[in-house]
Structure 1
């Protein structure tokens, strides 16, 4: 009850919820892109399974705080630069994001009409969920470390993560439909993931890029794309 009557706890809770949603947007975009590869009747299930797994992974990591914090200890050094377990995960995660983004963009450039060009590889629900789990682990680490750095109470962390994930589940369908209606948005989203992957690698080698710069550039790009969509809609009308 002391937690519920403490205004500082509520401020921390709402602030952490907002940050979790912001940090989860890129994860949600990636999940939507992967789920859209599935047959239409499986897409909703793919999104829900992906976000549910993201929630479970984050809660599991929150209850492993001591292990997470130990990842910041250097394991070895490269040219006087210490490399920790967290750095390794960030670098590998960044490389994975860059690989997936470049691969998806390449497919878009090679196959202009996805409806007419058959897929070379058969997309399976299990394969898509596996990719979602891998990317959830990468994004969850960043999210959980943020939570640990902001709040001291594990119950507040878990509550904030659950609330933010429920909000993302509610908007997942709308976001997915919007991306499907506007193919250029998908390329823009993949470009965001490419940028985020680069930022993860940079952070892994102790070159910190302020998150504000990243989110501002993303917001500016989205604004420009919205203007392009509006112009295109007027021309069609």
Structure 2
């Protein structure tokens, strides 16, 4: 699932990001609420985790603004040594849960999973479009639009491409790919994953000279990286 994190403390954000990734989710970090609210107009998030002070506004102000864009968005508020009055204020403002900082891994993941289960994880029909790194993913039609081109993928190619873009600059294991794309089917051969990765690379033009590199990670899986344009120019 896609989880937005608003956390001004970058070091704590790195801890939360690692925990969320270990739990099988994707984390998008924002240091203030403004860029998150802007991104939420184009992209869908399944859950918001925000610090009680979101860098530019309090969580009590951010929650209603977030839900005006993403109705029924589940929200967890992070607090350092919270007082009862702070917890009550956050819950009255619409928070679904509160967690003390620094977070404890097993507890945080258990609360995230419980909240996502209760939320039902159903995206509105008009919020099935994700824009990541200049690529727009239309889940309703398995279409990807980039550089004024629109390419139709097979459902499995689409899920693989979206998984790779959601984990940009991170290696994605074959086990994670199997779970996400093939629902853990044990009869899927390793070369089947390789074939789909090759098709995604070709159809979406994931080449270094065009700003992206999709490479196999020996003995592990695949990694998609964005290539800075200045690096492309230097090698060109």
TM interval, shorter chain, is under 0.3
- Larger % of strand: which? 2
* TM-score normalised over the length of structure 1: 0.26
Q: Which has the higher contact order (CA 8 A, sep 6+)?
A: 1
* TM-score normalised over the length of structure 2: 0.26
